[in-house]
Amino acid sequence: MTGGTLLTMASPAEIIEDPWIGIRDGKILFAEAAPLQPCPLPEAHEIIDATGHLIMPGLVNTHTHLPMVLFRGLADDLPLMSWLNDYIFPAEARYINRQTVHAGSVLAIAEMIQAGTTTFCDGYFFEDTIALAAMDSGMRGVVAQGFIDFPTPDQPDPSRKRENAERFIDRWRNRSPLITPALVCHSAYTCAPETLQTIKAVSRLTGTTFQIHLAETREEVALLQNRFGKKPVVHLRDLGLLDEMTVAAHCIWLDEDELDLLARHRVKVAHDPESNMKLGAGVAPVAQMLRMGIEVGLGTDGCASNNNLDLFGEMGMCARLQKVCSMDPTVLPAEKVLEMATIGGARVLGISSEIGSIVPGKWADIVLLAMNKPHLTPLYNPFSQVVYAASGADVATVLIGGKVVMRNRQLQTLDVEEAMANVRTIAASIQEKYSPSLN
């Protein structure tokens, strides 16, 4: 790859003009400035001319639920508890199966690739199906089998949680360099202490990431206080769930002591600003988390609560929201926000040695952003342009593991028209059979 402007994300604010990037066997061989004196290019099977483009690591979505694209726009403008209990949980029970999960996942992967995301972290039902969809499309994913304390479409018998968790990890460990298995419990209010401890025990035994929704709403905090007499983070600490392999999503309604517990136990956080705003959940204290040394990555959450998978939008929203809430325009500069969406997200997911920056030895997960557009002109600061002006629609070419999965906005590994048609068919069925109980 030659030409363009490279943001390696290997160190703060590093910019390389007119770089040479070599890729071999899917990994980065070199990434450096081109020689000052003209010389022949190294021999290569293919040379990608990135002139006029910004070259950056692929974005890392640290928290999402891919098949929920099936419910995009189905139940909007509702508070979280009503949204979940009255609409989403009943809809999932009725319409989620292997076929619908696969269709939704393929469409979600197409949407993410077109918006520059090369790695996602998902937690849902039929997670095997999501992993297969990712492999088939050449997408990188941390796939987390989900657990909750009532029968689900993929686990009608909730009593077999440990067996199901162990089987899932065994099935996906070392199966593909694209797939990293993990486990997720929905929350401390939908999972009993025994469930949380059981799944965390499997996570520790297998060395995999454990994920959970945490302190997303004030209602959740009050519910846990009434049920256990404890704040959410204290409850998880007393159950032995907090460590460097725990990723907590949302983390909005936490006090200083709880943030200190997260920092001391090295818990990672997945921040979903647009979903939090749309559900009226609140604003996570991200700037304070970062000051306390807590690793924070960006996520979109599922399309039923966002309603898109564009991490460029999340970056801009994250930065602006923290600035206006703190009344401090210097909070979360663009470089830091882009770090959260790339190498920072990789650190949250425990795979920063493999992805997240463009340096020799890592997988070649690379995005080319087309800069010759009115809304990206002129260019003074590439970091600011990415965070405050660019969108997923500006992504031109995407490589994952050195393989071109999108070239000049054309997906190479899946049929996006077919993916949309399949989801439209499912959506028609949902709309036709939409129960009054979901209205």
3-state SS, one letter per residue, for 154-212: CCCCHHHHHHHHHHHHHHHCCCCCCEEEEEEEEECCCCCHHHHHHHHHHHHHHCCCEEE
What is the homologous superfamily of the domain 59-348 according to CATH? Answer: Metal-dependent hydrolases (3.20.20.140)
378 preceded by a cis bond (ω within 30 of 0): yes
With CA atoms as reference, report the closest residue to 81 among 211, 195, 218. Answer: 218
What 8-state DSSP symbol labels residue 301?
A: -
Residue 321 CA to residue 340 CA, distance in Å, equals 15
Q: What pLDDT sits at residue 44?
A: 78
Q: What pLDDT sits at residue 434?
A: 56
Q: Which CATH architecture has domain 5-57+356-408?
A: Roll (2.30)
Q: What pLDDT sits at residue 417?
A: 97
Q: What pLDDT sits at residue 174?
A: 92
Phi-psi region of 350 (alpha: psi -120 to 50; beta: other; left: phi over 0): left
Q: Where in the chain is the domain with CATH 3.20.20.140?
A: 59-348
Low-confidence ranges of the chain (pLDDT < 70): 37-39, 41, 433-439
Residue 8 CA to residue 11 CA, distance in Å, equals 7
Is residue 81 packed enough to be buried (19+ CB in 10 Å), middle (13-18) or exposed (0-12)?
middle
Q: What pLDDT sits at residue 299?
A: 98
Residue 95 CA to residue 156 CA, distance in Å, equals 15
Q: What pLDDT sits at residue 436?
A: 44
Q: What pLDDT sits at residue 11?
A: 83
Q: Where in the chain is the domain with CATH 2.30.40.10?
A: 5-57+356-408
Q: What pLDDT sits at residue 433?
A: 66
DSSP three-state, residue 33:
strand
pTM listed for this prediction:
0.95
